[in-house]
Amino acid sequence: MKIAIIGLGYVGLPLGLRFAESGVSVLGLDVDAAKVAALNGGTSYIKHIESAAIQAARESGHFEASFDFSRVAEVEAILLCVPTPLDIHREPDISYVLKSGEAIAPYLGSGRSDREDRGNSSSPISDLPSSSMPKLVVLESTTYPGTTDTELREVLEKGSGLKAGEGFHLAFSPEREDPGRKDHSVKTIPKIMGGYTPQCLDRCVELYSQALDQVHPVASCRVAEATKLTENIFRSVNIALVNELKVVFQKMDIDVWDVIDAAATKPFGFMPFYPGPGLGGHCIPIDPFYLTWKAREYEQHTRFIELAGEINTKMPDYVIDRVAEALNEDGKAVKGSRILILGLAYKPNLDDDRESPSYVLMKKLEERGAVVEYNDPFVPVIKHTRDHPQYAGRNSVEISGNYDCLLVATNHAEYTEFDFSGFTCPVVDARSCVRNRPEKYFKA
């Protein structure tokens, strides 16, 4: 069979490669022409995905990339893996999902009439599906319950003239991608999925079973949507708990990392989570607010989720206060100090800087008059970001002691092994990862 994957980022690209490895023909669609050219040339633009994997998929004949969305007429299933960010008011922005739906809707039809309508298309008629089986559309992007069977369904029905469950099949199957993991992969992580109708679910199970080891069907699209939110809310709440404990224990001169490591020896009833300078990535800082927003429609207030969000979003301020304390002990103020932030990526040993708290730290320190630079072996140059476009083009600099303060914001292996012991400036470690510590060492 042949499928299309819309959005070739951290979710869509590894998913497409997994399907290609399983023998399914994959058409990767993206609006970024540079990404399309790179993939068709066998080159990866995501550090933890090797170019060799893309080259193998291309050589097998099972993978190609394009920016021509009309080519979804060639495929039997379409998987949407596009961003679902928050807007400036911290409310859900599902515009990428809906625009993708609008782009593919005119090509959802199958059978003779669709072939006649596309008689002038640049795609050969032989490339179009020979089966009259309705196309399957699966949304993978994290969103609030009801998105798939309401907003997306309505856009697809309006643009295609078809009815969901009859003219096309519709399902939701949330991504569970965790970039950089070695113990789990797209193939081995169980896949949750819910269908608009039982027949839609059957099609979804059949599709993903070709490429993944285990699928887990649920009762509806909304159950699947709520499952994904619950997973990420669980992490957000527990991270907020240890972040709060960090602040309390620091006042008591107790090392929270020592406490967590000790508590983790209990073989039941405890799961270790670790504090940090703030939340990063495209899931944990964003997804809980999708449910908070949707709950208001039902006159429900998610106080626990909102409190966790409040604690986590305040962590950069706590870290900056610790930087100010370290500088003060050295007889300096934040204003006018030269500060080097170590780590721009939001997680270790990757180039993924989405929603990284390092950007917030940089912005807040500069607002207080500091001169800030950064080092990150995985992010040599800052690319354009939606929330912090002012930093685009900045370059990573070498680590040295010629600063008034160093702030470790990401626990890259390089920083764990780096020898800071000879540095005379204070080092503030927000990840408790530095082993070779200088005399002026502070945990944040």
Catalytic residue list contains 433: no
Residue 338 has which token pair?
A: 């030269």
Taking alpha carbons only, the member of 140, 219, 189, 201 closest to residue 165 is 201
381 near 396, Cβ under 8 Å?
yes
Bridge partners of residue 223, in order along the sequence: none
Residue 248 has which token pair?
A: 């309390």
Quote the CA–CA distance of 221 and 225 in Å, as a whole number. Answer: 6
Quote the CA–CA distance of 351 and 46 in Å, as a whole number. Answer: 7
Q: Which residues contact 322 (CB under 8 A, 6 or more apart)?
A: 428, 430, 442, 443, 444
Quote the CA–CA distance of 99 and 96 in Å, as a whole number. Answer: 5
Choosing from 283, 405, 425, 433, which is the catalytic residue?
A: 283
425 near 405, Cβ under 8 Å?
yes
Quote the CA–CA distance of 214 and 224 in Å, as a whole number. Answer: 15
> Kind of pairing, strands 168-172 and 191-195?
antiparallel
Quote the CA–CA distance of 86 and 431 in Å, as a whole number. Answer: 26
344 near 376, Cβ under 8 Å?
yes
Residue 30 sits at φ, ψ, to 5 deg, of -155, 150
Render the burial of 310-330: b for 16+ CB within 10 Å, e for the rest.
ebbbebbebbbebbbebbeee
Quote the CA–CA distance of 171 and 96 in Å, as a whole number. Answer: 17
Starting at the edge strand that comes first in sequence, how are the strands of the sheet with 135-139 ordered?
Answer: 63-66, 25-29, 2-6, 77-80, 135-139, 168-172, 191-195, 215-217
Question: Is residue 340 helix, strand or coil?
Answer: strand
Quote the CA–CA distance of 225 and 151 in Å, as a whole number. Answer: 14
Q: What positions carry a catalytic annotation?
A: 283
